[in-house]
Amino acid sequence: MINLNQKQRIILKHIDGMSNRSIASELHMSKDTVNKYVAEYEQKKQELLAKNPEADTKELIHAIVEKPKYNSDNREPSKVTQEMMEAIEECLRINEWRRANGMSKQQMKKIDIHEYLVKKKFDISYSTVKRLVKSIEDRHVIINAFSFCTYVIFL
């Protein structure tokens, strides 16, 4: 994989009129790689010129070589299933019961919950388990705070 500077050098040398083979030998990379990025440049150039025929070359290069932007807003974990969520919630209910009965040192930590899920043949990462446990715990805190507020209001 090449970085953005190498990609920009390929495109600039192509614009200067160098052949793809000579660009590849000068930059010490495969001619297939150069062909790939030159073809991508030409395709995007055609698309941008179709939208704006008066676009400057520098604007074209900037639009083509800029770093990709990924929108990760509202992205849900792809491997999380309803059964998995129920198993996590069950572990948290067991933890609540243990806290209520004086067994606070025997609670399952997040790593323990992850190991439990892996033993039950769920394919999930530890970071996803941490995020899910935190969201469930935050949801319970909000619900408990709300129920406490309504309890105080009715007194």
Model confidence pLDDT, tens digit, residues 116-137:
999 999 998 999 999 999 988 8
Q: Point out the domain boundary residue: 65, 90, 117.
A: 65
Average pLDDT over residues 11-18: 89
DSSP letter at 66 equals: S
CA–CA distance, 36 with 19 (Å, rounded to integer):
13
Task: Output the pLDDT for position 120.
Answer: 92
**11 and 54 share one domain:** yes
Residue 105, domain member (yes or no): yes
pLDDT per residue as tens digits for the range 60-97: 667 666 665 566 677 776 788 889 989 999 999 999 99
Domain holding 58, by residue range, is 4-65
In the chain, how many domains are there? 2
Token pair recorded at residue 79:
């491997």
Task: Output the pLDDT for position 148.
Answer: 46
Task: Output the pLDDT for position 147.
Answer: 54
Residue 70, domain member (yes or no): no
